[in-house]
Each structure stands twice: as structure tokens, then as C-alpha cells.
Amino acid sequence: MKILLMGHPNVGKSVFFNRLTAANIIESNYPGTTVDYTKGYMRLEGKDIEIIDVPGTFSLEPKDKAEEVAVRMLHESKGSKVMCVIDASKVERGLYLALEIIEQGFSVVIALNMWDVAIDKNIDIDAKKLEQILGIPVVPTVGISGEGIFALVSRLKDATPVKVEDIVERTEGIKHKANTPDERWALIEGISKKIVTFGEYQHTLKDAIGDFTVKPATGIPFAIAVLYGFWSIFGSFAGFFTDGFLVKIFDEHWLPWLQAVFPGGLGNWFYALIVDVGHLENGVLAASDNCFESFGALSSGLFVPVGVVLPAIFIFYLMLALLEDIGYMPRLAVLIDTVLHKIGLHGYAIVPSVLALGCNVPAVGATRILETKKQRFMMMTLLAVFIPCGAQIGIMQDVIPGSIGFVMLYLMAGYFIFGYILNKVIPGRIPEILMDVPPYQKPMSRNISRKVWMRTSGFLKVAVPLVIFGSLLVNVLYLAGTIDWLGNILAPMFEGWFGVPRETAGPLVAAFLRKDLAVAQLSAIEMTKYQMISAVVLVSIYFPCIATFAMMLREGGKTFLGSLAVLLVVVFTWGGLLHLLWKLMGVA
């Protein structure tokens, strides 16, 4: 037997999946998290039952890529049982999807989830009466606390296919069939009148906060305050642990120990690859005194992802998980919808945009929640070019601590300017946003800790090997003279157009593997403050790292070539414009 978990976005399907399978998945409170389906297994009556968390969909008439996947999975799973998760406070909406699934001949059991929210809103639902009318098991549940989950599983055996005609017959007063959307809504209205009673509802403090944070007049200032607090905590936490602890551990203990015990010593090619390339002092090769400048696979290769990036990534994902679980992300999407419409996107685009500040790879995957090919292409291109990942931002804080704000503003300006241009150039429609805004809720420490662990460990699994490999590759290219050769060939462009030293060629090679490694390597090149800012911007808008590159190729298909074309235009125009700005200011 196979079970499909289906329902609208934000009704708690992923929470159900996690409780049923105890699997390591990410449960989120904003649209688009389960674009890729997830499967696991539940032990039931001595057997392993496969459970699939299907992407959220509002109906079986798909309007975006995620809903297309959901409908296709349902059609490919004939004979499976469907656990349809419905928001109990909005039961009519969920019943529409449930009726569509029943019409397809599936055995369905309904979970009236968020039962506690319905009680808070003084909505009384007669679950037994609903079960009698539908002829299928109906169980009230509270997914985040686990209430009703055991009862729901125990009723799976009672789920059998039913005919919609029988449901119509049991719903007195309905004289027509339910073959069209209008007829289904009429049937749902008839059912609702029999099972739902709305009592007098008194607004609570939670409702007042919800209204306050979604109305533009108060919500926009609040959003600015939240994002400012997000950024402040990010910078303070990352700086405290990196500068206060990890820099000392790596520079005062780890690097000296490697330099002392590793065979070969300065000048040995293998020693240079693994530990320290050294630097010239008065014409004499001297040992590096910090991991930033050593460039060895076991020095810089470990220091960059663990010593600098890990604290930044950890606090970023912790704060993001907290905002997700509280329920703030959908409100942010509604608030920013008007602004993003100006560049051909809508509020949903805030999801990949924010995710990209952690890592561009899942952000590219999250573009699937956008309805049209035009929007997906634009979002994929803009985030790959203009949104630096958390790892890169963490390194920026050490390399250009006083100028990181300017770099972020310059990149943000590019995001909107080139977004506006792309919207005018690329044909296609811009649909309106359609989303449910869930109520605020108390975050669960178990859920947040799992999200942070999964995302952080996933980053380390990708970042550490690539940074070590990148350190080795760049060192080999340096020793072989390739970097100097590239620098000489590209010198007119680097020095004349971008205003940066020819040695920038080395970090740009590394940027294709890891941009955080590339920014770290810039610190070893002698540059003015303004050249360093230009070089950091150039690395940011340069080719995406190899992991993002592969993800864009997979998601974009043929449109990937278009993204590369846009990228080349942006590198030369936006990178050159910054050099022009410095010239006008008289500092270049």
C-alpha cells in the first residue's frame, strides 16, 4: 500500500510526513517548500508503508509547475490511498480538492488539521456528520502537537472509494451532480451548512499582530525593522564567533601546528598545496601567519567553510527557520508583491530571494513556485547574479567590513534595474499572486532545530570538499603559471574596464567552485579600498558557483543559455559602471 499526502500549501502536510515517518525533511510555513516530493516509510501492522509528501496544490487543475507535479503524481498512483490534509478553519476550500480526488476513484481519509485554530476562531465543525455525508474517515488533528495523528493512521484501513453521486444524495437539498466547478462549490456550500457553525469571534492579540504586519502602512515599516534586525543579528553573531574564537583557533593553533609537522617546508610544491604557499618579504619567502593568506587545502580550505562561513550560515538558517515557523514569510510575500510586480515578478519571488541569501542552490529550485517560464527565468537569473550567498557574505564581513553595506545596496540596485529591463524585453504574462496567509503560531524548537541541522549539514557536505578542491586547483594553476598567463591576457580588461589588478584572475577561477573562497583569496592581493570593493562586486556578479551552475542547467534547460547571456552583459555593464563611478569620484 502507498499513501499520498495531499493538500493546499501551508496546511501542515510536511509536519504530518515528519511525524509519520520520522524522516529528516524540512517543514516550512511558506509557499513552495515541497516543490520536490519527499517519500518515506511508516511501520503499520508489521509492514513498511510508503508515504509520499506531494507538492501542495489548490486543485487538480494546475496553475504552476508544482501543481503540475502534484496532479501527475496522483494520476500515476492509481490504487494508492490519499490522506487529504485540510485547514479546519477554512474547511470549504479544502473540501474542493478532496472532492476532486474522490472523483478520481481514490480511497481518501481527511485530516481536519489546525483544529486548534478553528476552536480559537469559534468555528464548530461536526466531524462525525461530515464523515457520514462523505462516506470516508474524517479525523480532527493538530499536526504541530501530534494530536489526532494516531487516530488518523488507525482509520486508514476504513478508507474506500466512494461515488460523488452518493455524496450528493446524502447532502439533502442538492438536486444536481458535481461535475463542474460551479456544481462542486454548490455541493460544498450545502455540506458546509450542515457541518459548520460560526460562533461570535473576538479578535485576539495574535489577530491584531497579524493585521498590523500585513497592512502596508504598518507592515512595511515592520518588515524593514525585521530585516534590519535580521541583518544586525547575522553580522554580530558571525563576527563574534569568527573573530572571537575561530580565527584564534585556526591562526594561533591549527596553522602553526600544520606548519610544524607537515613535511617539505616552504618552497616545496606539495607543502604549498596542502599547508602554505608563503609570501615574499624583502625578496625572501616567508611563512604566512594567518589562514586567509596561506591558501593551503588544510589551512584556508578548512578555515573558510568552518572558521568563517559556518557561524554565518548557522545564524542565517536559525533566523530564517524562526520566521518560517512563526508564519511571517507569507506576510512578507504579500507586502513586497506590489514592488516585485514592477519588475515582472510577484510576492512568491521573496521565497527564492531570501533562500539565496543562504545558498543559491535551493533558491534556484524554489523558482518552480513561480507560475510562468518568464518569471522562473528572470528569478533564476537575478538571484544567481545579484544575490550573494550567506557563505560569501560571511567572508565579506572579514574582507570589507566597513563597505559591505554599499556592496549589498549596489547589488540590490542591479537586481531591480536589470529585473525591470528583463521584464520589458522578455515577452510573457505576469499573473497575480494567490496565496493563503496562515495564522501566527508558536515556533517549535524541535522543528527549528531539525531545519537548522539539515540545512547547515547540507551546506558543509557541499562546501568543505569544494573549497578544499578549489584551494588545490588554484594553487596548481598558480604553480603552473596559468594564473599569471590569464592575468597578462586579461590585464587590459581587468585594469582598464573594471579597475582591478590583473591578479584578480586567480580568485575568479576559484569563484566558479566557491565564491566565498574567491572573496577570501582577494584579501591576499594588494589593492586600494575601492579596488577591493570593485573586485568583491565582480566576484559576486561573475559566473555562479559550480553547484548553482549545475542547478540552473537542470532547472532552466534551454533557457540556461539565455541566463548566461544576461550574466555576461551584467558583468561588463554593472562591473564597468562601478569603476566609472570611482573615476567620477576621483578615487580610481
Return d(Cα 102, Cα 160) in angstroms, integer. 10
Residues 6 or more apart whose Cβ sits within 8 Å of residue 72: none
Return d(Cα 501, Cα 491) in angstroms, integer. 8
Question: What are the boundaries of each domain within the chain?
Answer: 2-198, 216-585
Of 237, 233, 235, nearest to 393 by C-alpha is: 235
Asked if residues 364 and 552 have their Cβ atoms less than 8 Å apart, the reply is yes
The pLDDT assigned to 512 comes to: 72
The pLDDT assigned to 36 comes to: 59
- Three-class SS state of 67: helix
Return d(Cα 57, Cα 470) in angstroms, integer. 41
The residue type found at 522 is L
Residue 573 has pLDDT above 70, yes or no: yes
Mean pLDDT of the region 114-118? 88
Mean pLDDT of the region 526-544? 89
CATH topology of domain 2-198: Rossmann fold (3.40.50)
Instruction: Tell me the pLDDT tens digit for each residue of 439-483.
Output: 788 887 877 887 788 778 877 887 788 778 877 887 788 778 887
201: left (phi over 0), alpha (psi -120 to 50) or beta: beta
Alpha-carbon distances of 492 from 316, 510, 558, rounded to whole Å: 39, 21, 33
Residues 6 or more apart whose Cβ sits within 8 Å of residue 586: none
Mean pLDDT of the region 152-180? 82
Residue 217 has pLDDT above 80, yes or no: yes
Least confident range of 31-45, 115-129, 516-530, 535-549:
31-45
Burial class (CB in 10 A: 0-12, 13-18, 19+), 445: exposed
The pLDDT assigned to 451 comes to: 79
Model pTM score: 0.74
The pLDDT assigned to 410 comes to: 94
Instruction: Tell me the pLDDT tens digit for each residue of 261-303.
Output: 998 888 888 998 898 888 777 778 888 888 877 878 898 888 8
Q: Give the residue ranges of DSSP H helices in 22-145.
A: 65-75, 91-103, 115-120, 127-134
Return d(Cα 538, Cα 534) in angstroms, integer. 6
Residues 6 or more apart whose Cβ sits within 8 Å of residue 304: 291, 395, 467, 514, 516, 517, 520
Asked if residues 460 and 310 have their Cβ atoms less than 8 Å apart, the reply is yes
The radius of gyration of the chain from alpha carbons, rounded to an integer in Å, stands at 27
pLDDT averaged over the chain? 84
Report the share of the chain in percent with pLDDT over 70.
Answer: 95
